[in-house]
Structure 1
Amino acid sequence: MSLINVTNLTFGYDGSYDNIFENVSFQIDTAWKLGFTGRNGRGKTTFLNLLRGKYEYSGNISANISFEYFPFDVLNKGNNTLDIISDIFPDYTHWKLMRELSLLELSEEILYRPFDSLSNGEQTKVMLATLFLKENSFLLIDEPTNHLDMKARKLVSDYLNTKSGFILVSHDRSFLDNCVDHILSINKTNVEIQRGNFSSWWENKQRQDSFELAENEKLKKDITRLSDSAKRASSWSHEVEKTKNGTTNSGSKLDKGYVGHKAAKMMKRSKSIESRQQSAIEEKSKLLRNIENSDSLKISQLAYHKNRLAELDNISIFYDETMVCKDVGFTIDQGDRIALIGKNGSGKSSIIKLICGEDINYTGTFRKGSQLKISYVSQDTSHLQGKLNDYAANNEIDESLFKSILRKLDFSRVQFEKDMSAFSGGQKKKVLIAKSLCEKVHLHIWDEPLNFIDIISRMQIEELLLEYSPTLLFVEHDSNFYKNIATKFFEL
């Protein structure tokens, strides 16, 4: 066991408007299974890169241990998988590699296949197995769940649960709960560590937020009451002081000493009330700094003239001579929220492309309503570049509505001035979802919409779909999300 000490860490990218970290201090035990959470763009990947020494910073990070980062950069993906592993870790021991592959339910034969012929899930498992061969390092695991199907997520989560000595960035609640014993969270104004899994951290956060909101309301009322009292006491003091040179009702002169004493007493009371008021204001200013903005989102779908929007009957899809799915049949009716379920490579994205009108080689019967308007969110965000206002104009969506949705999804106004190519993976995905929510359509089709998106934003999107009940066909491997959202399931 050793410690990683972070002291007064301050860092901002060259040319950025503000620092990502400002005088941050905390301590990590290298024996922990540490889940790492925070909203998109808060600096999770940046912090992992700071640990790796990739950037210059002020402050201090001290650690008597080496760091290894997932995912690895794989340059020649056409090489055999075994050669890729040898490039990453030349000194590996074969029996240990086979032990790790076995734990991840991978057969030895994949070692002799080109790496780029493996599915996304298989590639992820191979890289994780290689990562855990490096036994004397502290492991930095950055979003391993993206593109993993549900079975693979459970398997990888169980695998990580048998390990220790890592930081894990993930936005999948169930995944984190199963395999971490501490949570490192980047909040709005600080970084903190708590013992427990994500659910216990979230429960504590909600409890703290509720306390602060209640305390804030109480202090707000106290400040108003004290302000009124201070004004009255001050007014009384001035009124009493003005009578010093007057007379009583009987015509005798007033006792100036008594009146002066009474005025001073009133003034002292006024100052005391003002001091209590100032203390309340200072206490209030310490509250609500880490309460996340999660304003409600809205969606407005067009009504279609028929109840049935699309129907697939006995559909089989082919790429060249390869069949990717067989005998698929389901219907999409207004109000349905259909989850397409299946392991990686089972044809989910192919079914979506067929419904969206792409040229797909298939057999069977596919019917789609005439003039049906569809909004599609792709897995891929690599095409996003340029300014947000140009993107809104090019896609013929309302720019103010588009940016309002992004603000609700935790975009700062500073982000609106940046090129989209500089956005984090989660911020890019939010751009696609915000665009989709702006489009006037009959049907939304989302293909793995939550990849890279932070947990609080996932909850916002869940609340939106439950409140407005749009017609939706989606693929998503976050088990909390699809169980909460889907009204129908179709498994390939």
Structure 2
Amino acid sequence: MKAIEQRIDRLDKVDKPYQQKAIKITLPESSQMKQGNTVIRANKLSAQVGKRTLFSDVTFSLKSGGKIALIGKNASGKTTFLRQIMHANEAITRGDKVKIGYFDQQLKQVDLTKTLWENIKEVSIHDDQMNRDCLGSLQFVPDDLPKSTTVLSGGERVKLALAMILLSDANVLILDEPTNYLDINAMKALEELIAGYSGTVLFVSHDRTFVRRVATHILALENEEITLFEGSYADWENSKKASISRGEEDNLLIEMEMSAIAAKLMEPRLTASEKAELEQRYQEIVAKRK
């Protein structure tokens, strides 16, 4: 019996496997912006590549605390738009307390002469426990901390760069394709980190599942316009479907009215003035249909 108890005691002392915990990255009060305050405002923003117009006369305001997905087709101008936000011009204004952190695939913020932990300590405004929790959520283990960044894989450098931005004093994060090179677990961890981040996030991702889970607002770049939709990606999709349905219904009503007018024009008893009035109405409807 005693031998069994000793074996149970030894089992109890075995280290538990690492368990990912949900964390909330809260900015210090000095960096926080009041919820609902404008962080970025665009007024008649335009961009061209050569003679090709990407978007023109775009006007919108982004509020603090939002997780905003910028969506649009390839080569529609999303990266150009993000760079314009980064390098403010006469068409872009920022809130007084706004500090932007920028992520792209070049990973310039990662210093290859330093270790993983040194990179984090260089930029983080949080305590060591929060730093470790953030890295742990991205699947870094304690043995990774003293590693030179030169030995990290491409995906690990992406995760490090994201952790550095999330832990920095930036209160508006601009993320250009942050999900590239991330596996499913890392992507899920990033979703949770962004959801628990108290600042504002503007991001581009071609991963629709990621956008659906993270976005609270949608910036849609379509037909040389950028439109802000206040709602999730699912809400935006439903709104688009409803808009298409309304358009189809309107076209059906127009077709019906055109048919009715065409039938009246066939009536032999029409006076010249009545016929002229119907023909004018018919042309107005044709113009509306276009």
Q: TM-score range by the shorter chain?
A: 0.7 to 0.9
Measured after TM superposition, the shift of residue 150 of structure 1 is 1.3
Tell whether 2:91 aligns with 1:60: yes
Tell me the amino acid that sits aligned with residue 220 of structure 2: S
Q: What is aligned with 2:65? A: 31
Residue among 134, 143, 148 paired with 2:168: 134
Summarize the Cα distance change of 1:122–1:135 in structure 2 as closer, same or farther, 3 Å threshold.
Answer: same
**Within-5 A mapping of 1:18-167:** 18-53=52-87, 60-64=91-95, 65-71=98-104, 72-74=107-109, 77=112, 79-85=114-120, 89=123, 92-93=125-126, 95=128, 96-163=130-197, 164-167=199-202
Give the Cα–Cα distance (whole angstroms) in 2 for the partners of residues 27 and 276 of structure 1. Answer: 41
Q: What is aligned with 2:21? A: none
Residue among 10, 24, 48 paired with 2:46: 10
Deviations, residues 135-179 of structure 1 (Å, cap 9, x unaligned): 443110111111211122112112211124111211222212222
Measured after TM superposition, the shift of residue 214 of structure 1 is 3.5
Measured after TM superposition, the shift of residue 236 of structure 1 is 7.3
Give the Cα–Cα distance (whole angstroms) in 1 for the partners of residues 145 and 286 of structure 2. Answer: 65
SS of structure 2 residue aligned to 1:20: strand
Please list every run of 5 or more consecutive structure 1 residues that lacks an aligned counterpart in the other structure.
238-262, 286-492
Measured after TM superposition, the shift of residue 51 of structure 1 is 0.4
**Within-5 A mapping of 1:17-416:** 17-53=51-87, 60-64=91-95, 65-71=98-104, 72-74=107-109, 77=112, 79-85=114-120, 89=123, 92-93=125-126, 95=128, 96-163=130-197, 164-220=199-255, 222-223=257-258, 226=261, 228=262, 263=271, 266-267=272-273, 269-285=274-290
Measured after TM superposition, the shift of residue 209 of structure 1 is 1.6
Please list every run of 5 or more consecutive structure 2 residues that lacks an aligned counterpart in the other structure.
1-33
Q: Is the 8 A contact 1:229 1:273 kept in 2?
A: no
Q: Is the 8 A contact 1:97 1:130 kept in 2?
A: no
Measured after TM superposition, the shift of residue 8 of structure 1 is 1.2
Higher relative contact order (CA 8 A, sep 6+): 2
Give the structure-1-normalised TM-score.
0.45
Summarize the Cα distance change of 1:172–1:229 in structure 2 as closer, same or farther, 3 Å threshold.
Answer: same
Summarize the Cα distance change of 1:213–1:78 in structure 2 as closer, same or farther, 3 Å threshold.
Answer: farther
Tell me the amino acid that sits aligned with residue 68 of structure 1: G
Tell me the amino acid that sits aligned with residue 45 of structure 1: T
Q: Is the 8 A contact 1:104 1:155 kept in 2?
A: yes
SS of structure 1 residue aligned to 2:167: coil
Give the Cα–Cα distance (whole angstroms) in 1 for the partners of residues 53 and 269 of structure 2. Answer: 50
Give the Cα–Cα distance (whole angstroms) in 1 for the partners of residues 126 and 189 of structure 2. Answer: 23
Q: Is the 8 A contact 1:229 1:270 kept in 2?
A: no
Give the Cα–Cα distance (whole angstroms) in 1 for the partners of residues 178 and 250 of structure 2. Answer: 40
Deviations, residues 319-346 of structure 1 (Å, cap 9, x unaligned): xxxxxxxxxxxxxxxxxxxxxxxxxxxx
Give the Cα–Cα distance (whole angstroms) in 1 for the partners of residues 250 and 153 of structure 2. Answer: 52
Give the Cα–Cα distance (whole angstroms) in 2 for the partners of residues 7 and 282 of structure 1. Answer: 32
Q: Is the 8 A contact 1:104 1:159 kept in 2?
A: no
Q: Is the 8 A contact 2:120 2:131 kept in 1?
A: no
Measured after TM superposition, the shift of residue 224 of structure 1 is 5.8
Give the Cα–Cα distance (whole angstroms) in 1 for the partners of residues 275 and 281 of structure 2. Answer: 10
Summarize the Cα distance change of 1:136–1:146 in structure 2 as closer, same or farther, 3 Å threshold.
Answer: closer
Summarize the Cα distance change of 1:93–1:23 in structure 2 as closer, same or farther, 3 Å threshold.
Answer: same
Deviations, residues 380-417 of structure 1 (Å, cap 9, x unaligned): xxxxxxxxxxxxxxxxxxxxxxxxxxxxxxxxxxxxxx
SS of structure 1 residue aligned to 2:229: strand
Give the Cα–Cα distance (whole angstroms) in 1 for the partners of residues 170 and 180 of structure 2. Answer: 26
Measured after TM superposition, the shift of residue 23 of structure 1 is 1.0
Summarize the Cα distance change of 1:125–1:50 in structure 2 as closer, same or farther, 3 Å threshold.
Answer: same
Summarize the Cα distance change of 1:93–1:281 in structure 2 as closer, same or farther, 3 Å threshold.
Answer: same
Measured after TM superposition, the shift of residue 85 of structure 1 is 4.5
Give the structure-2-normalised TM-score.
0.73
Measured after TM superposition, the shift of residue 75 of structure 1 is 7.2
Q: Is the 8 A contact 2:53 2:224 kept in 1?
A: no
SS of structure 2 residue aligned to 1:209: helix
Tell me the amino acid that sits aligned with residue 270 of structure 1: K
Summarize the Cα distance change of 1:83–1:283 in structure 2 as closer, same or farther, 3 Å threshold.
Answer: farther
Percent identity at matched positions? 23
Give the Cα–Cα distance (whole angstroms) in 1 for the partners of residues 43 and 278 of structure 2. Answer: 40
Summarize the Cα distance change of 1:129–1:225 in structure 2 as closer, same or farther, 3 Å threshold.
Answer: same
SS of structure 2 residue aligned to 1:12: strand
Summarize the Cα distance change of 1:230–1:9 in structure 2 as closer, same or farther, 3 Å threshold.
Answer: farther
SS of structure 2 residue aligned to 1:112: coil
Give the Cα–Cα distance (whole angstroms) in 1 for the partners of residues 190 and 138 of structure 2. Answer: 7
Q: Is the 8 A contact 1:66 1:138 kept in 2?
A: yes
Larger radius of gyration: 1
